[in-house]
């Protein structure tokens, strides 16, 4: 199979779909790997590293899309990239289609086979290809929130860890999954006053046992959520419904109960965001203010720590890429029902039910694509 990785073109996106080490693994398996020149510069992987790994350097994304059987990326294809996809070509990347009907429609029109990292499942439960970026985003959310709380950035001027004689900042983490757990770890490590909300008693028990006195847990109902948000200096939105649009848990009305200069960080923005007032921002212009509350909603947070993120991502995406390349996409998905959950668009049809429901199109079961 011919496998290619273009340079990412989303704003301030420095990650790359394949590291030189991953390229070498694919070459050893007998495949041809093409890499757009400069694709790895953001992680310090210069073209010569890919050449030494056995890959070929090409000058443009057009060459990648025109030549390759499978295109491996990090972020969802931008409009110019979607226009280059062709029928039967495999696209293997993050897609986040539920809040993005334009992208979904373009992928359907392309006839490409689109496998989304974020909906691949695991025999042990969870979303293993999403997990490393959720870990990164969760940890970064506290860094970003702490910076946004600084007075020079429009915040209240609160130090999350406080100092002797001055109370620490209050952090409300909505969701106790991978993002929320990692956010709470960072916040507690700084010495903040941390509260984690979740609706799953088992999650609350697990995080409560881990953090002991370093963080509080509360069941997430309307009353507890409203109280926690009103008291917080920093609110982290860390909710996820796999493949579906995120629920809007914090309303604009609730902002009026918060102190001016408090901060909302919406890690769920890739799936539409969990705050009513959220809209996607970029690393170039990461925050905006609504009703006196600072919002941070960068849709590709892990791109800021591109080297860490790329290697963490390749650790989990490469094994599936090898299976797809070795067996062909259809046989690979037939043999692995968890990988099959990653198929979102096939032959102009949506094959992930939550996406079909969100964008208002017909749903075709994956089994039909694999028949």
Show which residues are catalytic: 96, 270
Q: At what angle do helices 131-148 and 306-327 cross, to 10 degrees?
A: 160
Q: Helices in the chain by DSSP H: which ranges?
A: 20-28, 47-52, 61-67, 79-82, 101-110, 131-148, 178-190, 201-211, 222-231, 252-255, 306-327, 329-335, 337-340, 353-359, 366-370
Q: Which residue's entry shows tokens 């899309």?
A: 65
Contacts of 197 (CB under 8 A, 6+ apart): 172, 173, 174, 175, 176, 217, 218, 219, 220, 224, 225, 228
What is the Cα–Cα distance from 217 to 86, expressed in whole angstroms?
49
What are the two backbone dihedrals, phi and then psi, of residue 25, each rounded to the nearest 5 degrees? -60, -45
Q: Any idea what DSSP says for residue 76?
A: P
Alpha-carbon distances of 274 from 64, 147, 264, rounded to whole Å = 36, 21, 10
């Amino acid at each position: 199979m011919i496998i290619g990785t273009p340079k990412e073109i989303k704003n301030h996106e420095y990650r790359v779909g394949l590291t030189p080490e991953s390229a070498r693994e694919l070459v050893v398996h007998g495949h041809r790997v093409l890499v757009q020149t400069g694709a790895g510069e953001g992680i310090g992987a210069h073209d010569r590293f890919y050449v030494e790994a056995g890959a070929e350097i090409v000058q443009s994304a057009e060459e990648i899309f025109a030549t390759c059987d499978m295109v491996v990326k990090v972020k969802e294809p931008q409009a110019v990239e979607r226009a280059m996809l062709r029928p039967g070509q495999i696209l293997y990347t993050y897609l986040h289609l539920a809040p993005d009907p334009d992208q979904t429609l373009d992928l359907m029109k392309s006839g490409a086979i689109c496998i989304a990292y974020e909906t691949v499942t695991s025999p042990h439960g969870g979303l293993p290809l999403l997990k490393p970026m959720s870990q990164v985003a969760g940890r970064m959310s506290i860094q970003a929130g702490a910076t946004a709380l600084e007075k020079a950035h429009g915040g209240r001027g609160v130090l999350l860890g406080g100092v002797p004689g001055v109370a620490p900042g209050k952090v409300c983490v909505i969701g106790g999954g991978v993002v929320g757990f990692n956010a709470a770890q960072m916040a507690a490590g700084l010495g903040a006053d941390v509260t984690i909300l979740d609706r799953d008693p088992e999650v609350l028990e697990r995080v409560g046992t881990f953090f002991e006195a370093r963080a509080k847990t509360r069941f997430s109902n309307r009353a507890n959520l409203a109280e926690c948000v009103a008291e917080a200096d920093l609110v982290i939105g860390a909710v996820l419904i796999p493949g579906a649009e995120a629920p809007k848990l914090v309303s604009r009305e609730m902002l009026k109960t918060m102190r001016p200069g408090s901060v909302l960080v919406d890690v769920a923005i890739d799936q539409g965001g969990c705050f009513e007032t959220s809209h996607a921002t970029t690393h170039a212009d990461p925050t905006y203010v609504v009703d006196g509350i600072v919002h941070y909603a960068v849709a590709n947070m892990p791109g800021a720590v591109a080297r860490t993120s790329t290697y963490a991502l390749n650790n989990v995406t490469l094994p599936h890429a090898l299976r797809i390349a070795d067996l062909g996409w259809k046989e690979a998905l037939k043999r692995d029902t968890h990988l099959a959950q990653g198929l979102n668009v096939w032959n102009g049809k949506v094959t992930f039910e939550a996406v079909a429901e969100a964008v208002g199109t017909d749903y075709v079961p994956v089994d039909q694509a694999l028949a």
